[in-house]
Structure 1
């Protein structure tokens, strides 16, 4: 990789910090290949049978990064470090949702106390 793309990523990040709305559109083509590489590396460290693709992980991470555009990344290394962390969080959340679905429902599903089936036998006996 030549020094020019690295410098242009840093320049675009500086433009983004300065508030240039077009900088975000310029950023994606510059960083996409490296984001793909990071996502592939992250997925190789996951358990076998993982169903999220590299492309899906890159796109999810990019959406998360766009929401954090005001972070003010210092340079390309800082941007890619934040991107790698975002990907890791996405994979952890994905695994939690997947495991919760296997157990029969979403994490933290509220339980109604008005439902008699939800009360234990001893609680039902005390209520009578």
Structure 2
């Protein structure tokens, strides 16, 4: 049993010392996941990978009401999902009227026709993944781990407990399904 799994088990019982040891034990992995996700964000995004890690960690630990972590992989999968939700929430909040709605900043020296923003693309992708999850939940989980978690196909297959070849087929199907939905 890994050190992280032992810490997670102790943290589940409310051991404050284990909760304090958890972040340093998983920080590097969570930081890697956040950095991978943030690379695909727009350049002017105000959220930094470190902030994303901390916010996801707080959501996971703060909502740990009887939640059982089956190990570090399970915890990292949950963290990837938390990061996805944080980024989607930020994208949706940016679309609110009080934050400019769907208006884009305009350079008055060079006025361009407004185009779809990365936030709009992120929201459209999230909506498409939700539709995919209704019909093919296992494919949607694979997409979330790959796209939002930064997992390799092999790591995602391992996290989901499926053979790599099955993951390859599901990944190909999910990509084609999402491309059709987003077209």
1:57-99 CA distance string (max 9 Å, x none): 1111111011122311110000000000000000000111112
Residue of structure 1 equivalent to 2:16:
21
Deviates more, 1:82-91 or 1:35-44: 35-44
Structure 2: segments with no counterpart, 5+ residues: 103-183
Question: Which of the pair has more CA radius of gyration?
Answer: 1
TM-score (norm 2): 0.50
- d(CA) in 2 for partners of 1:30 and 1:53? 20
Residue of structure 2 equivalent to 1:102:
100
Q: Which residues in structure 2 correspond to 1:86-101 (within 5 Å)?
A: 86-100=82-96, 101=99
Residue of structure 2 equivalent to 1:71:
67
- d(CA) in 2 for partners of 1:62 and 1:29? 11
- SS of match in other structure, 1:49: coil
Deviation, 1:15, is 1.0
Residue of structure 2 equivalent to 1:57:
52
Structure 1: segments with no counterpart, 5+ residues: 1-5, 105-128
TM-score (norm 1): 0.70
1:35 to 25, 30, 35: 30
- d(CA) in 2 for partners of 1:80 and 1:11? 15
- d(CA) in 2 for partners of 1:74 and 1:17? 11
Q: What RMSD, in angstroms, separates the aligned Cα atoms of the two structures?
A: 1.7
Higher RCO structure, 1 or 2 (CA under 8 Å, sep 6+):
1
